């Protein structure tokens, strides 16, 4: 049976409060920025530049700076999306290798039934453990590492058997190495995050660009509200996307273990009577 995860109430409460705090800060920041854009900064005692040339220059600044800002944010989102696809690809590669390892063990025959039975059970337990542990649980690496070590020992015992065909030994080693390599790449990719300084720079750049809308002159309040709300909404949505994609362990775009389909391995388990 896979290990059961017990999470204390204090940890759950701490996690909930942290999320609520982030949501509160985001709402206050967006509401404050929208208020500034609607009042033109008058709430802070700042007056809009009334000169037409200044307004023309400001419009050009918003246009060209907006291109740079959108490219920078799009690059970050693109990098996060590629990481999300790559880490899920490694998950698929890992389960494919484990499945092929079990299928290859079928070729050993009844003579090596006991060692095959042990190998299949450990692989099933490994798959069960990976799917049962939460993605951001620190024990995932340790627990699954022990199971991978046991799989390695089973493969080692098979390789030592002189009567086993070399082609079967090579295939088992190949699939084990593929699964081990995919597992390592999965952990490496999941650990990659955008540096905090990059987020700080992106926030400063965003604020610099949005401040141009605070000073922009509008003839109607409705147009001001429409452009301000759409601009802030778009920037907030893109920021949310980048933030969620940056952490494939906890974010909305977290690692997908649905391809860890244990039924494929259980089919073999039933046929062998394990």
Give the pLDDT score at 181.
92
Q: Is 264 exposed, middle or buried (0-12, 13-18, 19+ CB in 10 A)?
A: middle
For residue 86, pLDDT beyond 80: yes
DSSP code for 6: -
pLDDT at 174: 93
Helices (H), the chain: 9-39, 52-105, 113-132, 139-160, 166-191, 196-215, 221-246, 262-272
C-beta separation of 272 from 114 below 8 A: no
d(CA 75, CA 96): 31
Region at 109 (left for phi over 0; alpha for psi -120 to 50; beta for the rest): left
Structure token digits, residue 185: 């790449």
| pLDDT (0 to 100) of residue 42 | 65
Instruction: Give yes or no for residue 12 having a pLDDT over 60.
Output: no
The mean pLDDT value for 173-187 works out to 90
For residue 177, the model assigns a pLDDT of: 92
- CA–CA separation, 84 and 75 (whole Å): 14
Query: Does 262 have pLDDT greater than 60?
Result: no
Mean of pLDDT over the chain: 78
pLDDT of residue 5: 47
In Å, how far are 95, 130, 196, 253 from 180, measured between CA atoms?
10, 14, 31, 24
Pick 271 or 206 by higher pLDDT.
206
pLDDT of the residue at 2: 47
At 29-73, the pLDDT tens digits run 777 777 767 676 665 666 677 777 888 888 888 888 888 888 888
Which tokens is 101 given?
């390892």
The DSSP line for 5-54 is P---HHHHHHHHHHHHHHHHHHHHHHHHHHHHHHHTTGGGT------HHH
Displacement of CA 76 from its chain's centroid (Å): 13
Q: What percent of the chain has pLDDT over 70?
A: 76
The owner of tokens 């693109």 is 78
Planar angle of CA 203, 31, 65, nearest 5 degrees: 35
The pair of structure tokens assigned to 216 is 């922009």
The tokens for 147 are 């199971």
CA distance 145 to 129: 11
Rounded to whole angstroms, the Cα distance separating 151 from 146 reads: 9
The answer to whether residues 103 and 168 touch, using CB atoms and an 8 Å cutoff, is no
pTM more than 0.85 = no
pLDDT (tens digit, 9 = 90+) per residue, 18-40? 666 666 667 777 777 777 676 76
Q: In the predicted model, what is the mean pLDDT of residues 227-250?
A: 83
Q: What is the pLDDT of residues 103-146, one digit of tens each?
A: 888 888 788 888 888 888 888 888 888 877 655 455 556 778 88
Across 219-239, average pLDDT: 83
Per-residue pLDDT averaged across 238-245, rounded? 84
The pLDDT of residue 9? 61
According to the model, what pLDDT value does residue 216 have? Answer: 80
């Amino acid at each position: 049976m896979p290990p059961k995860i017990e999470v204390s109430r204090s940890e759950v409460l701490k996690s909930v409060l942290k999320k609520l705090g982030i949501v509160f800060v985001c709402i206050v920041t967006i509401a404050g920025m929208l208020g500034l854009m609607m009042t033109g900064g008058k709430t802070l005692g700042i007056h809009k530049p009334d000169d037409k040339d200044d307004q023309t220059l400001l419009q050009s600044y918003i246009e060209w700076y907006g291109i740079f800002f959108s490219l920078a944010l799009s690059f970050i989102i693109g990098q996060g999306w590629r990481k999300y696809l790559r880490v899920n690809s490694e998950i698929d590669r890992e389960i494919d290798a484990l499945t092929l390892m079990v299928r290859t063990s079928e070729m050993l025959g009844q003579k090596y039934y006991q060692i095959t039975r042990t190998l299949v059970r450990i692989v099933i337990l490994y798959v069960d453990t990976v799917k049962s542990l939460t993605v951001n649980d620190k024990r995932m690496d340790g627990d699954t590492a022990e199971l991978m070590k046991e799989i390695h020992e089973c493969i080692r015992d098979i390789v030592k058997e002189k009567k086993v065909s070399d082609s079967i030994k090579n295939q088992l080693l190949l699939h084990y190495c593929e699964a081990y390599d995919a597992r390592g790449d999965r952990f490496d990719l999941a650990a990659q995050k955008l540096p905090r300084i990059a987020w700080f720079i992106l926030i400063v750049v965003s604020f610099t660009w949005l401040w141009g809308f605070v000073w922009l002159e509008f003839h109607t309040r409705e147009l001001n509200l429409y452009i301000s709300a759409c601009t802030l909404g778009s920037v907030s949505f893109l920021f949310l996307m980048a933030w969620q994609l940056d952490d494939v362990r906890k974010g909305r775009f977290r690692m997908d273990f649905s391809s860890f389909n244990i039924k494929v391995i259980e089919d073999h388990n039933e046929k062998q009577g394990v």
